[in-house]
Amino acid sequence: MSDFDYGTLGTAEQRRDYYREQGYVVVPSLLSRRDCSAVIDAFRCEVKPFEGHIYRQASANPEKHKWTPAGTMLNSILNPVAVNPRQFPRFRDLVTRMLASDALFGAASELYDEAAGLVQSMYFEGNPATWAHQDCYYLDSTREGDLMGAWLALEDIDP
């Protein structure tokens, strides 16, 4: 982690230049704390107690929850925007609104200077200890290497 002050990336041009040079950029406070807390609350109320099957990111198959000893869900959800709206109405609605927000699409679009689109989404509660990898080996764009991943931290995370 560098000593770079992310707060100095005040303009779209600065963020785009930094992204092109470093391959990533941090955009602090892109999402409101209130919205992030609402998604976490809906996850805890609707998804965690669910005992059925949900499509999972690692296998792309429907599976029941797998738990860590600390009680966090280990197998992440594949495409939370597509979970059953009858079983998870609030969670699905909040995640969809967050992932389709003008703030997120605007931030992504300015890095490529063109419109962005959503290809896939995932929801992680715990760390599945994924091996080091490049996402382009699993999913990429029609222009090879142009797929951008966005990690949205819904809670404060130490670097």
Give the C-alpha separation, 62 to 66, whole Å: 12
What is the average per-residue pLDDT within 60-81? Answer: 94
Q: Convert the pLDDT of each residue in 89-143 to its tens digit.
A: 999 999 999 999 999 998 888 888 788 888 889 999 977 667 676 666 666 667 7
| Contact between residue 18 and residue 11 where contact means Cβ atoms under 8 Å apart | no
In which band, very low, low, confident or very high, does the pLDDT at 159 lie, cut at 50, 70 and 90? Answer: low
pTM of the model: 0.85
In which band, very low, low, confident or very high, does the pLDDT at 10 lie, cut at 50, 70 and 90? Answer: confident
What is the average per-residue pLDDT within 35-43? Answer: 96
Give the C-alpha separation, 120 to 139, whole Å: 9
User: C-alpha 133: how far from its chain's center?
Assistant: 17
